Chain A
Amino acid sequence: MSVRAFSLLGLLGFWFLVAWIAADPMVLPMPQELFSPLWAELKSGELLFHLSRTLIRVIWAFTLAMSLGLALGLVMGLFPHVDRWLDPWLVVFLNLPALVLIVLCYLWIGLNETAAIIAVTLNKIPNVTTIIREGARSLDPNLKAMAQVFPMRKQSVLQHVILPQLAPFIAGAARSGIAVIWKIVLVVEFLGRSNGIGFQIHLYFQLFDVRLVLVYALSFITVMLLVEWLILQPWEKRVRRWRTA
């Protein structure tokens, strides 16, 4: 904890230093200069409204991308002949720039919430699939044989044999997933939504207001740090309990 706190303080110190050298609040304001705009946005309710819009999109896209990516990765990892068919698709989607997918979704589906969430989900699925497929390929064949001979029920095999072995891969995909997803959500909002952090950043970019761009960006980073510390890390610790017991 102390290392984490010192490390973050160091980052803050670096900001002070650069702002002091730049000596121009239009380019980079001092950290304390953000307090009054932050307070104003909080009081008007603007900040919380846009934060919640973005958060809802992140949750939707994250849930969809993780569950679809998990299913697809499992199928591709467990059935090599399916993998041979789908692998080229995966490579195409992995290399399709996020921007292209977003623009195409808006063009084909329209400038609406569905298009925004589908665009983010499609951007993330190939990545989750790749990680989970790696995990599914490394499942223990002896445990599989054991589950087959006794025999265990399919539901039970998934829940107690397969998923626990995939836990480190799922955690990895979730970690990298949540970070990438909120960045893409911001781009989606920047390009075609009328609310959310990305929309606000677009607005204050046009007004050339660095302070408010920073207020909105940093607020969401704070939310994501809380998600990491309060949800992801405790969950990971719980599923790793057996390794350290």
Chain B
Amino acid sequence: MISVDVISKSYGDVPVLQDIQFNVEKGQTVAILGPSGIGKSTLLRLIAGIDPKFEGTVSRPKNMAIVFQEPTLLLWRSVFENIQLIHPELSTEAVREALSEVGLADKADLFPGQLSLGQQRRLSLARGFAGNPDLLIMDEPFVSLDEKTADEMLTLTERLISKTQPATIFVTHDTTEAARLATQILTLDGQPATLKIKETLK
């Protein structure tokens, strides 16, 4: 179980986040909604442990995965190595399986720069799920994609989540996206931002 308890987070003298408490069980998907600039990504960085400077505690499992807005790939290593180097415990077949899961089976030997943006995003998604994470964190993974690609990505993500069943926390500003993936929606609002609405779906 992941439990988040952020008492406060400030940048310098400016408080950004305050009193944010929630838990996520394995198999649950929590969407964090809110207008841009409210501090959603900041909250994710606290949860992921990227930014340790805040007041409060987050208990998180060891086996985590993250999918960023940008694909954030190792552009100097092949598509195959982009999964294998991050998950050295996986066998060659398991890496190929993860690639074919997102439709990149025939691209294994290319460099990420040779892929389209949509394909790079799918590789980033495959990297996230490949290690069967206990906690998956996604930061606006479908932003700035055209409608069709975004929809494909959503369907793919839905399938991968139901297959691996991680605890998922993802950030978005799109209500329909949130409604489609999430079992629970949390809305950030205010200055400093805090949890305003908790709504349980499904």
Contacts and interface: CB of A to CB of B under 8 A. Distances in A.
Given A149-B137, A156-B85, A143 B72 contact: yes
Given A149-B49, A152-B86, A156-B88, A242 B68 contact: no
Given A142-B72, A164-B74, A245-B110, A150 B88 contact: no
A148 B49 contact: yes
Nearest to B66: A149
Contacts of B49: 148-149
Interface string A128-166: 000000000000101101101111110010001100100
Q: Which of A148, A150, A153 has most B Cβ within 10 Å?
A: A150
B87 to A, nearest CB: 8
26 contacts: A142-B70, A145-B48, A145-B50, A145-B66, A145-B68, A146-B66, A146-B68, A146-B86, A148-B50, A149-B48, A149-B49, A149-B64, A149-B66, A150-B66, A150-B86, A151-B64, A152-B85, A153-B88, A160-B77, A164-B74, A167-B76, A241-B111, A242-B75, A242-B77, A243-B113, A245-B114
B131 interface: yes
B65 interface: yes
Interface of B: 45, 48-50, 64-66, 68, 70, 72, 74-77, 81, 85-88, 110-111, 113-114, 131, 137
Q: Is the interface of A mostly helix, strand, loop or mixed?
A: helix
A160 B86 CA distance: 10
Interface of A: 140, 142-143, 145-146, 148-153, 156, 160-161, 164, 167, 239, 241-243, 245
B137 to A, nearest CB: 7
Q: Which of A140, A146, A164, A243 has most B Cβ within 10 Å?
A: A146
Contacts of A143: 72, 74
Contacts of A156: 85, 88
When A and B form their complex, which 10 residue pairs have the shortest distance between CB atoms, in order from nearest? A164-B76, A149-B66, A242-B111, A145-B50, A242-B76, A142-B72, A245-B111, A149-B48, A146-B72, A160-B85
B131 A150 contact: yes
A153 B84 CA distance: 12
A146 B45 CA distance: 11
Contacts of B110: 245
A167 B76 CA distance: 10
Contacts of A239: 76
B138 to A, nearest CB: 12
B164 to A, nearest CB: 15
A160 B50 contact: no
Nearest to B131: A150
Given A140-B72, A149-B49, 5 more contacts: A145-B50, A146-B86, A149-B48, A156-B85, A245-B111
Contacts of B137: 149
Contacts of B65: 149-150
A142 B74 CA distance: 11
Contacts of B86: 146, 150, 152
B23 to A, nearest CB: 20
B71 to A, nearest CB: 10
Contacts of A149: 48-50, 64-66, 137
B113 A245 contact: yes
Contacts of A241: 111
A160 B81 CA distance: 10
A98 B135 CA distance: 56
A89 to B, nearest CB: 30
A161 B114 contact: no
Nearest to A144: B50
A164 B85 CA distance: 14
A49 B72 CA distance: 52
